[in-house]
């Protein structure tokens, strides 16, 4: 079936958390250009979450698999009416979009581009919401909710302890994760340890040190992304460092304790809701590519996380309707 609508192509060829902080902008683009086909250029593995962006219906019509900016965008779908740079402001991202010769270019202010001036710092969600709606009032940067996945949770009501992180600068110590896991199990919660394909040894070691009955979904047993989303959507609590699953908790309103290290929560933190951020900004080194954990992360103790988790669980019990 042909689609005769004009095309809006939004570029953000980054990771899961980067997609989720752009949700307010993507929803705003859908409202601003209701008659356009909205194409999102991002890595193909994000497709299960891209399908969920929206409230009652998908905001994105098509994913254009884009692993990075080293090559021209693999677009063969005809003229692009509107190009939106949600990736950055440098020559790589602007260049690949300019090659498409769009009628309208939305991004940060530059020759040929309509948009606000770049501001250092501040919430990423607000940055891209300003781009999507410039020159009008920005979209609600806290409008991060997405649709719930069709898959049922593999362990509904669980406390999820996610030990994975792409860089070592975000690796909170295994023994602290194990202490948290042990205490959550002692509170009668079913517990799950999650991580990516490279986190199997780390996840199993956390479960071993905790000495409790825990499901481990990491390494060769890691879950497909849509099943990860279902697990987080149906969880009672998430404990994680600042990584993609923490943004999933924000998107689904799942209570979360998020430990921040090199990245400042003032830029990447969750919206208001049942979320607690733990860090020590005075110790932050800020090198996301460091070979060891950021001191701001290491300043957070297992007792800090357990205390925050207890507060969230108590709030959850208070908010629950009587049976």
The residue range of the domain holding 278 is 159-319
Angle at 179 between CA 164 and CA 318, to 5 degrees: 90
SS (H, E, C) the chain: CCCCCCEEEEECCCCHHHHHHCHHHHHHHHHHCCCCEEEEEECHHHHHHHCCCECCCECCCEEEECCCCCCCCCCCCCCCCEEEECCCCCHHHHHHHHCCCCCEEECCCECCEECCCCCCCCCHHHHHHHHHHCCCCCCCCCCCCCCCCCCCCCCCCCEEEECCCCCHHHCCCHHHHHHHHHHHHHCCCCEEEECCCCCHHHHHHHHHHHCCCEEEECHHHCCCHHHHHHHHHCCCEEEEECCHHHHHHHHHCCCEEEECCCCCHHHHCCCCCCEEEECCHHHCCCCCCCCCCCHHHHCCCHHHHHHHHHHHHHHHHHHCCCC
Domain end call among 71, 98, 133: 133
Is position 154 within any domain?
Answer: no
Is position 139 within any domain?
Answer: no
Residues 180, 70 within the same domain? no
Is position 116 within any domain?
Answer: yes
Is position 62 within any domain?
Answer: yes
Q: Give how many domains the chain has, as a whole number.
A: 2
pLDDT in tens, 279-292: 999 999 999 999 99
Question: Before 66, cis peptide (omega within 30)?
Answer: no
Q: Are 228 and 248 in contact (CB under 8 A)?
A: yes
Residues 117, 172 within the same domain? no
| Sign of the Cα pseudo-torsion (112, 115, 120, 121, in order) | negative
CATH code of the domain covering residue 264:
3.40.50.2000
Residues 239, 273 within the same domain? yes
Residues 214, 302 within the same domain? yes
Residues 121, 175 within the same domain? no
Is position 235 within any domain?
Answer: yes
pTM of the full predicted structure? Answer: 0.95
| CA–CA separation, 323 and 319 (whole Å) | 12
Is position 142 within any domain?
Answer: no
Residues 89, 165 within the same domain? no
Residues 52, 101 within the same domain? yes
Smallest CA-to-CA distance from 173 within 182, 163, 181, 183 is with 163
Residues 254, 297 within the same domain? yes
pLDDT by residue, tens only, the chain of 323 residues: 468 999 999 999 999 999 999 999 999 999 999 999 999 999 999 999 999 999 999 999 999 999 999 999 999 999 999 999 999 999 999 999 999 999 999 999 999 999 999 999 999 999 999 999 999 877 899 999 999 999 999 999 999 999 999 899 999 999 999 999 999 999 999 999 999 999 999 999 999 999 999 999 999 999 999 999 999 999 999 999 999 999 999 999 999 999 999 999 999 999 999 999 999 999 999 999 999 999 999 999 999 999 999 999 999 765 543 33
Is position 146 within any domain?
Answer: no
| CA–CA separation, 49 and 118 (whole Å) | 28
pLDDT in tens, 74-92: 999 999 999 999 999 999 9
Q: Are 69 and 45 in contact (CB under 8 A)?
A: no
Give the burial string for 148-162 (b: 16+ CB within 10 Å, else e): ebebebebeebbbbb
Residues 311, 171 within the same domain? yes
Residues 101, 196 within the same domain? no
Domain end call among 83, 99, 133: 133
Is position 138 within any domain?
Answer: no
Residues 71, 174 within the same domain? no
159 backbone dihedrals φ, ψ, rounded to 5°: -90, 120
Residues 167, 265 within the same domain? yes
Which two structure tokens, joined as six digits, stand for 301?
């103790």
Which two structure tokens, joined as six digits, stand for 203?
């996840």
| CA–CA separation, 9 and 192 (whole Å) | 38
């Amino acid at each position: 079936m042909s689609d005769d609508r004009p095309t809006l192509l939004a570029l953000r060829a980054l990771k899961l958390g980067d997609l989720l902080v752009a949700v307010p902008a993507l929803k705003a683009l859908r409202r601003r250009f209701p008659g356009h086909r909205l194409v999102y250029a991002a890595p193909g593995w994000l497709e299960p979450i891209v399908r969920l962006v929206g409230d009652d219906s998908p905001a994105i019509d098509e994913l254009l698999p884009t692993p990075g900016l080293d090559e021209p965008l693999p677009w063969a779908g005809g003229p692009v009416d509107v190009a939106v740079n949600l990736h950055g402001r440098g020559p790589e991202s602007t260049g690949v979009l300019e090659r498409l010769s769009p009628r309208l270019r939305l991004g940060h202010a530059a020759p040929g581009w309509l948009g606000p001036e770049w501001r250092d710092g501040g919430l990423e969600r607000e940055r891209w919401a300003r781009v999507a709606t410039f020159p009008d009032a920005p979209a609600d940067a806290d409008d991060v909710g997405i649709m719930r996945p069709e898959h049922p949770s593999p362990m509904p009501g669980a406390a999820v302890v996610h030990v994975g992180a792409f860089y070592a600068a975000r690796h909170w110590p295994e023994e602290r994760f194990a202490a948290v896991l042990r205490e959550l199990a002692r509170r009668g919660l079913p517990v799950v340890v999650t991580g990516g394909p490279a986190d199997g040894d780390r996840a199993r070691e956390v479960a071993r040190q905790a000495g409790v009955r825990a499901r481990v979904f990491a390494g060769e047993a890691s879950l497909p992304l849509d099943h990860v989303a279902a697990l987080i959507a149906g969880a009672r609590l998430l404990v994680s460092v600042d990584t993609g699953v923490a943004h999933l908790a924000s998107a689904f309103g799942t209570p979360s304790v998020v430990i921040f290290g090199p990245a400042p929560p003032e830029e990447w933190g969750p919206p208001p809701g049942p979320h607690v951020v733990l860090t020590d900004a005075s110790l932050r080194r800020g090198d996301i590519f460091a070979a060891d954990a950021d001191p701001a992360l290491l300043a957070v103790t297992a007792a800090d996380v357990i205390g925050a988790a207890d507060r969230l669980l108590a709030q959850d019990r208070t908010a629950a309707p009587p049976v």
